[in-house]
């Protein structure tokens, strides 16, 4: 079982007609949980779901896609909203309505003791940043790090209004307790502006003694580094016709976790992951993320689709 912890919100997406909006379930952790389920992993989402109309829509969406909601908390606060805009290349820009919403109001008693079957905990995005919940989630993840692999997806969002220095401080605290960290070049540009992303990633690996750091470079592929290796592992991007990039990064992280847990590499943490296993996982994840870019919104591919796509690429 992979437990994903974080927000499940609603994206308001522009419709085909001016002034029309569609309400689409989203949120990085929720997208990751769906991606894991579609890739064949047992996936549970530890989240706070509102009882309002949007919350009911999110619950139905996740259940229909095979996500286990046994750890979800029934919240009285309203659902978080994200207003989405797409640029000419399909890139997503967000504005958030966060005040007093369900996703950030964690109480310690709502965070469960995880079972022995939990192979990894995936946490990140806004829930790892916004208080009062973020600090409580860190304490909870820290209490479990000796028993399972902690995967942190920075997924930095300047639009939430948290100062850069505070976002960087919290990201560093998460990296201190995580085994695996995923960041994009955009994340690095926000957290440490004006610096080479790869050099920053190399410094983070050493400073935080990371078992694995994944640096995604959009259409240019991804790089993996480890405090236990001398060399980095790199895979190229996969060229596709991009519809939009919504959920592609979430799919990438989920696919890496799915592939590594399938190989038994993360049962006792990530330190034993060898470069060949990581290269295989990166290639699988790059293909999954590319396929996610060919559909509208966060719509991760099925395992069979990724395998078929990889087979076609190998011809």
- CATH dotted code for 2-314: 3.40.1190.20
- pTM of the prediction? 0.93
Which residues are CB-neighbours of 109 under 8 A, at least 6 positions away?
A: none
Mean pLDDT in residue range 6-19: 82
The model's confidence at residue 159, banded by pLDDT at 50, 70 and 90, is: low
69 conformational bin, left if phi > 0, alpha if psi -120 to 50, beta if neither: alpha
Of the CA atoms within 13 Å of residue 280, those in its CB half-sphere come to 13
The secondary structure of 261-285 as a DSSP string is HHTTTTBTBSTT--HHHHHHHHHHH
Element (H, E) at 223: strand 222-225
| Tokens at 189, concatenated | 């540009």
pLDDT, tens digit, for every residue of 24-61?
Answer: 899 999 999 999 999 999 999 999 999 999 999 999 99
Decide: 47 and 41 in contact? Cβ < 8 Å.
no
pLDDT band at 300 (very low <50, low <70, confident <90, very high): very high
User: 177-199 pLDDT, tens per residue?
Assistant: 999 999 999 999 999 999 999 99
pLDDT: which is higher, 190 or 246: 190
Q: What is the pLDDT of residue 88?
A: 60
- Encode pLDDT of 61-115 as tens digits: 999 999 999 999 999 999 999 887 766 665 667 788 999 999 999 999 999 999 8
């Amino acid at each position: 079982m992979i437990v994903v912890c974080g927000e499940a919100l609603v994206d308001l997406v522009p419709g085909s007609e001016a002034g029309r909006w569609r309400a689409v379930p989203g949120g990085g952790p929720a997208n990751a949980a769906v991606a894991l389920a579609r890739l064949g992993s047992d996936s549970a989402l530890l989240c706070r779901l509102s009882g309002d109309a949007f919350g009911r829509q999110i619950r139905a969406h996740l259940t229909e896609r095979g996500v286990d909601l046994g750890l979800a908390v029934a919240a009285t606060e309203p659902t978080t909203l994200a207003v989405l805009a797409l640029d000419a290349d399909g890139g997503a820009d967000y504005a958030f309505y966060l005040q007093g919403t369900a996703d950030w109001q964690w109480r310690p008693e709502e965070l469960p003791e995880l079972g022995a079957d939990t192979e990894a905990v995936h946490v990140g995005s806004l829930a790892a940043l916004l208080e009062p919940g973020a600090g409580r989630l860190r304490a909870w993840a820290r209490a479990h790090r000796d028993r399972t692999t902690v995967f942190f997806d920075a997924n930095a969002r300047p639009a939430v209004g948290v100062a850069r220095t505070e976002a960087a401080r919290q990201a560093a605290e998460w990296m201190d307790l995580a085994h695996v960290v995923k960041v994009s070049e955009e994340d690095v540009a926000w957290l440490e502006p004006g610096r080479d992303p790869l050099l920053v990633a190399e410094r983070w690996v050493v400073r935080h003694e990371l078992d694995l750091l994944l640096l995604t470079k959009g259409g240019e592929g991804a790089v993996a580094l480890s405090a236990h290796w001398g060399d980095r592992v790199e895979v190229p991007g996969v060229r596709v016709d991009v519809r939009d990039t919504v959920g592609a990064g979430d799919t990438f992280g989920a696919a890496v976790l799915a592939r590594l847990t399938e190989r038994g590499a993360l049962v006792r943490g990530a330190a034993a992951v060898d470069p060949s296993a990581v290269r295989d996982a990166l290639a699988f994840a790059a293909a999954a993320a590319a396929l996610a870019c060919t559909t509208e919104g966060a719509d991760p591919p099925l395992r069979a689709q990724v395998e078929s796509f990889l087979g076609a690429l190998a011809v």
